[in-house]
């Protein structure tokens, strides 16, 4: 349920209610809006039977949340969440582009790509240090060395870094070297991992599972937020359908659908969605037109020799041209780039 406080409610009023909820074994999540303070109640609400919370000082209303997700819902927070990533705001009027190599390979290549995408207008550097691959014989990433390469690229360019975690045992290293922790599609329902990253304030980019419904996607985000981490971004990266001409089917309908249900920023990954570089630009433009808050795009200086997903990576020159086109699309729908 959500508890809305009156504008004149004091901090003592809020703390008094939170203490009462805690004594009943319930946790609270406080959202401070421009006009109202809202408290979300987490836990088995059956213990509240016979507990008239509406009579507590400063309380304006008590409303049950009908959706199975609570912290994620628009009922809990009406205004859009804006996530701060090293000074870059994701979720506001500006469409934020995250770009870089699918897999980190060498230091000089990583730094060179970072410098290139930064010149073209990317605001965040993406790069895979750990790579979940379908085949055990494919390149699995450089691991901790790859994260160090990304850190070096951040130092050279000032771009915050997003990289994918596979194992909760590596979380300490990610907290030190990454600005955003990415949960990949294959781990969307790795609930123990979700709970671990939810225990910290580090921003999280949660990708939709290969065959996940919107409900399952939002409940995975709820796992993270219910542990206290409110810095969650949702990433649509295509779902598995019967179509085999391209890798996945990019569900553009998910963008407005998610924005109706949740206050969290919605990012789109046209690279993994399509699996083909020539489809990335049209899908990226379509995503911005549909209202996406950001894009996750793979860029490589030499895609033919890339160790991972070269076929879906844009060369720096094509990425630069795409960024110019995206500015036009963004302006047409009242957004900035």
Q: Determine how many CB atoms are found less than 10 A away from the CB of residue 118.
A: 19
Residues in the chain: 337
- Report d(CA 69, CA 73) in Å as an integer: 6
Is the CB of residue 95 less than 8 Å from the CB of residue 298?
no
**Residue 215 CB-half CA count within 13 A:** 3
Percent of the chain residues topping a pLDDT of 70 = 99
- Report d(CA 7, CA 137) in Å as an integer: 60
**Residue 163 CB-half CA count within 13 A:** 36
pLDDT the model gives residue 317? 97
- Report d(CA 108, CA 131) in Å as an integer: 20
- Report d(CA 22, CA 335) in Å as an integer: 42
Query: Spelled out in words, what is the top-level CATH class assigned to the domain 83-332?
Result: alpha beta
Domain ranges of the chain: 2-63, 83-332
pLDDT the model gives residue 1? 81
Calculate helix-pair angle for 277-289, 316-332, nearest 10 degrees: 20
pLDDT the model gives residue 31? 82
Give the sign of the dihedral formed by CA 254, CA 71, CA 77, CA 297. negative
Ranges under pLDDT 50 in the chain: none
Candidates 188, 277, 271, 261; CA nearest to 224 is: 188
2-63: which CATH topology? Answer: Alpha-Beta Plaits (3.30.70)
Look up tokens 């190599």; give the residue: 101
pLDDT the model gives residue 12? 92
Q: Determine how many CB atoms are found less than 10 A away from the CB of residue 195.
A: 15
Is the CB of residue 233 less than 8 Å from the CB of residue 204?
yes
Nearest 5 degrees, angle CA 297-CA 78-CA 195? 60
pLDDT the model gives residue 305? 83
pLDDT the model gives residue 64? 77
Is the CB of residue 251 less than 8 Å from the CB of residue 266?
no
pLDDT the model gives residue 35? 75
pLDDT the model gives residue 175? 95
pLDDT the model gives residue 269? 98
pLDDT tens-digit readout, 129-186 = 987 777 776 777 788 999 999 999 999 999 999 999 999 999 999 999 999 999 999 9
Burial of 309 (0-12, 13-18, 19+ CB in 10 A): buried
Is the CB of residue 262 less than 8 Å from the CB of residue 73?
yes
Report the C-alpha dihedral over residues 125, 126, 130, 132, rounded to 10 degrees: 180
Candidates 45, 40, 26, 43; CA nearest to 77 is: 40
The region, left, alpha or beta by phi > 0 then psi within -120 to 50, assigned to residue 184 is beta
Is the CB of residue 91 less than 8 Å from the CB of residue 80?
yes
Q: How far is CA 141 from the centre of its chain?
A: 22
Candidates 249, 250, 204; CA nearest to 90 is: 204
- Report d(CA 100, CA 334) in Å as an integer: 26
- Report d(CA 282, CA 150) in Å as an integer: 28
| Helix, strand, or coil (residue 16) | helix
| pTM as predicted | 0.87
């Amino acid at each position: 349920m959500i508890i809305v406080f009156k504008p004149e409610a004091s901090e003592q009023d809020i703390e008094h209610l939170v203490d009462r909820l805690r004594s009943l074994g319930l946790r609270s999540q406080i959202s401070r809006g421009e006009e109202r303070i809202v408290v979300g109640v987490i836990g088995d609400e059956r213990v509240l039977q016979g507990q008239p919370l509406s009579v507590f000082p400063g309380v304006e209303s008590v409303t049950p949340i009908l959706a199975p997700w609570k912290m994620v819902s628009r009922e809990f927070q009406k205004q859009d969440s804006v996530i701060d990533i090293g000074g870059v705001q994701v979720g506001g009027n500006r469409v934020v582009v995250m770009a870089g190599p699918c897999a980190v390979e060498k230091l000089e290549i990583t730094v060179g790509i970072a410098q290139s995408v930064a010149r073209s207008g990317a605001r965040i550097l993406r790069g895979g240090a750990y790579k979940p691959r379908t085949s055990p014989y494919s390149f699995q990433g450089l691991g901790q060395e790859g994260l160090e390469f990304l850190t070096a690229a951040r130092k050279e360019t000032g771009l915050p870094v997003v990289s994918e975690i596979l194992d909760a045992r590596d979380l300490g290293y990610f907290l030190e070297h990454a600005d955003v922790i990415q949960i990949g599609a294959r781990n969307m329902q790795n609930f123990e991992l979700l709970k671990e990253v939810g225990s910290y304030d580090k921003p999280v980019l949660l990708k939709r599972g290969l065959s996940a419904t919107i409900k399952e996607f939002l409940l995975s985000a709820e796992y993270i937020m219910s542990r206290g981490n409110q810095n969650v971004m949702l990433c649509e990266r295509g779902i598995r359908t019967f179509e085999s001409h391209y890798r996945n089917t990019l569900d553009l309908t998910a963008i407005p659908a998610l924005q109706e249900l949740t206050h969290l920023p919605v990012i789109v990954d046209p690279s993994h969605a399509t699996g083909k570089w020539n489809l990335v630009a049209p899908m990226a433009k379509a995503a911005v037109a549909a209202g996406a808050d950001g894009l996750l795009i793979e860029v490589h200086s030499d895609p033919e020799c890339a160790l991972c997903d070269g076929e879906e990576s844009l060369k720096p020159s094509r990425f630069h041209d795409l960024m110019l086109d995206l500015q036009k699309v963004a302006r047409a729908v009242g957004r900035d780039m």
